[in-house]
Amino acid sequence: MKTVYDFTVKDRQGQEVSLSAYQGKVLLIVNTATGCGFTPHYEPLEAMYKELRDRGFEILDFPCNQFAGQAPGSDAEIHQFCTLKFGTEFPQFAKIDVNGETADPLFAFLASEKPFEGFGKGLKNAALNKFASMNNKKYGDKTYIGWNFTKFLIDREGKVIARFEPTADMDEVKAAVVAAL
């Protein structure tokens, strides 16, 4: 059975990194953007990371510019923004695509394990669904991720156990992480 440990990604310097380096840890894998309405998620993500990393928790940050061009900077510029504005210390990887023919295989795998089920109910979620549908139409059946700050929770064996859309309450995300630890 395939796990996240079977994948290799690139770090900010373009070096290959096997996710097997994170074996035995609980992971939260997130596609991010620096100019998104959800960019403030960096703050609770970093707080969670600082609180839980000593218990075997890692956040893996993958910037993506496929959603309305909300991560236009270089890897270095994105990293500088995140560290200066939010004090992030968790690993940030090279900018990737998460949808379409150029989608990173990791995100195609994550989404196949936990497919998109919607952003939830309510006016804000309905508005995001409409905007995301227009943005993602060009990817057709290769639309794996609905929007920035989609989070995948991975257990210590490398299996995908939960998916949280950007509209999910961050307290709910943290509770799931704590339960997985």
State the Cα–Cα distance between residues 134 and 180, nearest whole angstrom: 35
Which one-letter amino acid corresponds to residue 106?
L
Q: Which of 33, 36, 106, 176 is catalytic?
A: 36
State the Cα–Cα distance between residues 49 and 91, nearest whole angstrom: 10
User: Does 82 qualify as catalytic in the annotation?
Assistant: no
Residue recorded with tokens 């804000």: 124
- Catalytic sites, residue numbers: 36
